[in-house]
Structure 1
Amino acid sequence: MERGGVMAAQLKLEDELERQFQNELDKQFRKTYESGQTLYHYTSLQSLMGMMETNNLWMSKGNFLNDSSELIYFANVLKTVIGKMQRQKETELWKLFVDELEAAMGHFLEQIEESGFEVYIFSMSHTQDSLALWYNYAKGEGYNLGFYAEDLLGKLTGLQEGRRAIHGFVEYDRKEQELLLMNFLIGTFKVAKNHDIQKVKAALPEHFFTIISSCAIFFKDPAFKSEEEYRIALMDKSGELQPAVRFRAQNGVIIPYIALDFNGQLPLSHITIGPKNNIDIAKRGMEHYLKSKGYDIEQLTISKSVAALRY
């Protein structure tokens, strides 16, 4: 009975920590309600057709795990916050809290590949016609899919059990990143201080890993601010997504991805044709293609990019 009671209490603490963090995550990264908004996804024609043929979103494996510059940037944000916390309260619980956070940082940065942690990301932007994004994501000759944000993000609540997609705006301001991370951690401490210190010690490593990995996904260097990125991210710590991983070719390399099935047409509102495409032929071809897939082209508009005018 005693052991069962301890396990129940432990689960309760973990659940409380998780609920508190997810509530804060939703408030801080979403910031605005998505009703009436459009989110834009820059992509190649091959990927566009692949998603529309299957009514799937293709979420590519997150590059930040293999991009040392992104990890170095985030590590510096995290180290700055830990440094500030080390100069604060010196209670036994606070010292334990900061020590466990440091250990979690080391685990995340040094052993992330061995841990089996993976992230799959679908990147969008509020910017409909950005020359920089055309070349970064579609080489200037791709397409831009405009999604009804409310419909798209509402579909994420129906994912299979065990899969949880988080979504929100990427944060590019360094001071705001530090403040957000500090607030997440202070919120965790406020929950933890109401529990036995040994239970807290047992619960913190996993919880800190969740906070760190979530912030690593949504914090980017200020140099990328022009992207105005809104991300959907699917995290996998236990390898449960591995059977669902597929592969596609892009620019001469193989890209692992996860396909999210929408069980119906994608919630598209607009398609923009890239600046390097033959606009007239591309528009006629896209209209015929959309009709063949059952889309109402009276409701789904098609336009050409004006980014070429900026040369």
Structure 2
Amino acid sequence: MTAKIQYEDIDLYHYTSLASLFAILQNETIRLTDYRFLNDTQELSYATHWLKALLQPMAENEFVQKLLTAIENIEQGKVERLKGIGEDLPYLQWNMCDLNYYILSLSQNYDDLAMWRMYAKDGCSIKFDSQKLNEFLYSLRDDNLKNGFTNLIKGPVSYNAGQDMDTVIKLWLVLHNEQMIYDDVLQYCLRIKSPDFSFEHEYRFGIPFEDQYLGEKATKEFTLVGNTIRPQLELKKFPVADVIEEITISPFVTSELTKIGLQELLKSKNMSPDIVKQSSIKIR
């Protein structure tokens, strides 16, 4: 019998609109957003520009040149992966794949005024069970390993690229792991942001996704935000009753009917209405 993997126990909060919460509960789905459409216009590029500037002086080194090539490809949505080939996919071969990177942005801040103002003024924050969330996302990966689905990108976001990038580069040069170049660079660059966003205390999950993974468990959807059509990856059969631990309503939402309606929806899903809380922040 395989032992159950225990993931790090972290308090994770998803600040979002009430419309998004309604869709999550009603449809039992969760959506990740194409990184290019997140609020930070320097997503990915903030880290890759830093990396290239530090690596260019060492470009004569063969391994450094491979790192630079990987960075350029990743910026264009291309990643080299081991994928199964042949009947029943018994063999592995390196392939260059066209990808989109989808992100689920969470925060480690509970009931935080800056986060309310920025992301969910008229919404809520959803506390996720980190163990159940990891299990759900890793099951998607496991179902697609034969297609070349590598590790999830996950972890806390760093806002100190200038301080730790030299150390990361030195580690890559020491390990000299050519097979993990793309995974290492992607894991690192998608978890680096400008200090301007440090108030978020973000923890994120990222999925590098190819269209061939689309099917019963995942579809590509679109949502209109302002005047922008935003591509998203919708994951099906999201176990809302297991993953959602608590829902906190924004301090800017004062109607008691919001809470009552939400509690009725939860009861219809056989979920406890007691998980709904009102923000403790007092503001008018």
- The TM-score bracket by the shorter chain reads 0.7 to 0.9
Separation in structure 1 between the aligned mates of residue 227 and residue 37 of structure 2, nearest angstrom: 20
Structure 2 CA distance for partners of 1:184 and 1:46, relative to 1, 3 Å: farther
Q: TM-score, normalised by structure 2?
A: 0.76
Deviation at 1:142, TM superposition (A): 0.6
1:22 alignment counterpart: none
Q: 2:21 is matched with which residue: 25, 48, 73?
A: 48
Does structure 2 conserve the Cα–Cα contact (< 8 Å) formed by 1:184 and 1:211? no
User: Structure 1 counterpart of 2:8, which letter?
Assistant: E
Deviations 1:190-224 (CA, angstroms, capped at 9, x unpaired): x46xxxxxxxxxx5xxx433332222210111111
> Does 1:155 pair with 2:136?
yes
> Does 1:275 pair with 2:251?
yes
Does structure 2 conserve the Cα–Cα contact (< 8 Å) formed by 1:59 and 1:259? yes
Structure 2 CA distance for partners of 1:68 and 1:276, relative to 1, 3 Å: closer
Dislocated runs of 4+, deviation >4 Å: 64-68
Identity %: 26
Which has more radius of gyration? 1
Structure 2 CA distance for partners of 1:117 and 1:161, relative to 1, 3 Å: closer
Deviations 1:34-76 (CA, angstroms, capped at 9, x unpaired): 32x3210011111111111122211111127996534542133
Structure 2 CA distance for partners of 1:59 and 1:80, relative to 1, 3 Å: same
Structure 2 CA distance for partners of 1:184 and 1:254, relative to 1, 3 Å: farther
Separation in structure 2 between the aligned mates of residue 106 and residue 38 of structure 1, nearest angstrom: 35
Q: 2:154 is matched with which residue: 159, 163, 167?
A: 167
For this pair of structures, how many residues does the alignment match? Answer: 252
Does structure 2 conserve the Cα–Cα contact (< 8 Å) formed by 1:142 and 1:274? yes
Separation in structure 1 between the aligned mates of residue 51 and residue 260 of structure 2, nearest angstrom: 50
Consecutive unaligned residues of structure 2, counting only runs of 5 or more, are: 1-5, 80-96
Consecutive unaligned residues of structure 1, counting only runs of 5 or more, are: 1-31, 88-93, 193-202
> Does 1:69 pair with 2:45?
no
Please give the residue correspondences for 1:132-211 in structure 2 after superposition, counting only pairs within 5 Å: 132-138=114-120, 140-159=121-140, 160-162=143-145, 163=149, 164-179=151-166, 181-182=168-169, 184-186=171-173, 188-189=175-176, 191=177, 207-211=180-184
> Does 1:100 pair with 2:66?
yes
Separation in structure 1 between the aligned mates of residue 64 and residue 245 of structure 2, nearest angstrom: 47
User: Structure 1 counterpart of 2:262, which letter?
Assistant: M
Specify which structure has the higher proportion of helix.
1
Specify which structure has the higher proportion of strand.
2
Separation in structure 2 between the aligned mates of residue 47 and residue 65 of structure 1, nearest angstrom: 16
Does structure 1 conserve the Cα–Cα contact (< 8 Å) formed by 2:30 and 2:238? no
Q: TM-score, normalised by structure 1?
A: 0.70
**Alignment root-mean-square deviation, CA:** 3.0
Structure 2 CA distance for partners of 1:166 and 1:71, relative to 1, 3 Å: closer
1:287 alignment counterpart: 263
**Paired residue secondary structure (1:171):** coil
**Paired residue secondary structure (1:245):** strand
> Does 1:303 pair with 2:277?
yes
